[in-house]
Amino acid sequence: MTDETIDGGTNSNVNTWFWIIGVIALIWNLMGLGSFIMYMNMNDDALALMSEAQRAEYESSPMWLTVVYGIATIMGTLGCIALLMKKKWVVLLFLISFIAVVIQFAFGVISSASVKEGGATSLILPIVVIAVAGLLWYYAKKCEAKGWLN
């Protein structure tokens, strides 16, 4: 099933899990990028479907937070592409994405009315997104250490 074991790969011989993780990560990050694109193209009909608290939060969101959201999703997606291309700069892209995700969700949790409205369950998605971004950065560093990236 694998070209090499997880513990002993070379740049040309990564294992099957490398490709599976890379493709799943790309799909995950493309969904995040899609969410960002929808956020940027929010129209009046979509705003009308939101609760009053959600709409107020969307309308009062600072521009810098939107930029951070974009950086998180774009760097994550580019990172996945770089991972699948076995490029060393994937580590930097995933680090930038991880930092942006932490900033985005930390601000969101601290200032968000939706957390007050949704309670503890509204923290599940931020925790999962932060964990995935951190794990992808960690995985890229491990791949670099194993010599799988060039």
Domain boundaries, the chain: 16-145
In the predicted structure, residue 7 carries a pLDDT above the cut 70 = no
- The amino acid present at 119, given as its one-letter code, is G
Q: Say how far apart CA 138 and CA 90 lie, in whole Å.
A: 11
What is the reported pLDDT for 118? Answer: 63
Identify the residue with better confidence: 2 or 72.
72
pLDDT of residue 117: 64
Q: Is 42 left (phi over 0), alpha (psi -120 to 50) or beta?
A: beta
Structure confidence at residue 80 (pLDDT) = 98
C-alpha distance across the termini of the chain, in Å: 23
Question: Mean pLDDT for the chain?
Answer: 86
Q: Which two tokens stand for residue 116?
A: 């007050």
Q: Please give the DSSP secondary-structure letter assigned to residue 6.
A: T
pLDDT at 128 over 80: yes
pLDDT interval class at 130 (50, 70, 90): very high
